[in-house]
């Protein structure tokens, strides 16, 4: 049961251009969404989050958009830099679970070309 | 900046042996988690722990698994009799409080290899 899906396993973008990573979810109880960045042999590193009461959150080069009616969120990175090359996971949690466990997507490997 | 630490970074064991993976969460955090990632797959929730007891566990977390917070600082995951399919990266995470807009912080992981 894949409640959180990232349909693009990989994405290549030229340095300086915009990277758009997409994530879809099925559980309408999710109320908090996050993006994590992961390098090989390291733990996920928190990048940016958004609560279900918002539709946009911005932090520097990173912006997350949430479309609740479509159950879709996206991460925009602009401008993309070679150091952004990593695997990006979206994650979702639900207050109803009581524990705020995260359900992760399968990840998208971003490669930013110099 | 406070961080979650995990030891060892890599553990190799024979099938059927017991392993204990250790984590030191961020000191004032109250909620603790274990996740695992089989190579090339997604990060999967295993168990959450609060107030010295398991608050939720996934189907993966069967009787072979147990967690403990023995001394108020360490948080351990024990696998009693390891199987080949337990080979994965195991991540510990901690959370200050389970409210909206709080964030789990992950450790660097322990790579478990079962031979």
- Give residue-wise pLDDT tens across range A8-44: 999 999 999 999 999 999 999 898 999 999 988 788 9
The rounded distance, in Å, linking the Cα atoms of B74 and B97 is 18
Q: How far does A51 lie from chain B, in Å, by closest CA?
A: 6
Question: Can you tell me the distance from the alpha carbon of A84 to that of A20, in angstroms, rounded to the nearest whole number?
Answer: 12
Q: By the 8 A CB rule, do A3 and A26 touch?
A: yes
- What pLDDT digit, counting tens, does each position of B66-85 carry? 999 988 789 999 999 999 99
The pair phi, psi for residue A46, each rounded to 5°, is -65, 135
To test the contact with chain B by mutation, choose from A43, A66, A97 the residue with the greatest count of B C-beta atoms within 10 A, namely A43
Q: What pLDDT digit, counting tens, does each position of B54-69 carry?
A: 989 999 999 999 999 9
Contacts of A99 in chain B (CB under 8 A): 31, 48, 50, 55-56, 98
- At residue B101, the pLDDT reads 55
Q: Is the pLDDT of residue B99 over 70?
A: no
Q: What is the pLDDT, as a whole number, of residue A88?
A: 97
| DSSP collapsed to 3 states, B12-70 | EECCCCCEEEEEECCCCCCEEEEEEECCCCCEEEEEEEECCEEEEECCCCCCCEEEECC
Mean pLDDT of chain A: 93
Instruction: Please measure the distance between the N-terminal and C-terminal CA atoms of chain A and give it in whole angstroms.
Output: 38
CA distance B93 to chain A (A): 9
Nearest residue of A to residue B47 by CA position? A101
């Amino acid at each position: 049961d894949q409640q959180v899906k990232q349909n693009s396993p990989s994405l290549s973008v030229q340095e300086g251009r915009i990277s758009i990573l997409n994530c879809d979810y099925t559980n309408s109880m999710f109320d908090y969404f996050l993006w994590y960045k992961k390098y090989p042999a390291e733990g996920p590193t928190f990048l940016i989050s958004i609560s279900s009461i918002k539709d946009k959150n911005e932090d520097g080069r990173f912006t997350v958009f949430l479309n609740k009616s479509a159950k879709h969120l996206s991460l925009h990175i602009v401008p993309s830099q070679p150091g952004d090359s990593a695997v990006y996971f979206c994650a979702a949690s639900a207050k109803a679970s009581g524990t705020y466990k995260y359900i992760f997507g399968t990840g998208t490997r971003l490669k930013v070309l110099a | 900046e406070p961080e979650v630490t995990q030891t060892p970074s890599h553990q190799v064991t024979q099938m059927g042996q017991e392993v204990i993976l250790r984590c030191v969460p961020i000191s004032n955090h109250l909620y603790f988690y274990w996740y695992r990632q089989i190579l090339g797959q997604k990060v999967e929730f295993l168990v959450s722990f609060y107030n010295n007891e398991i608050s939720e566990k996934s189907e993966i977390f069967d009787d072979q698994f147990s967690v403990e917070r023995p001394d108020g600082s360490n948080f351990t995951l024990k696998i009693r009799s390891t199987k080949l399919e337990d080979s994965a990266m195991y991540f510990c995470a901690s959370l200050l409080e389970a409210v909206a807009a709080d964030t789990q912080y992950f450790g660097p992981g322990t790579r478990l290899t079962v031979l």
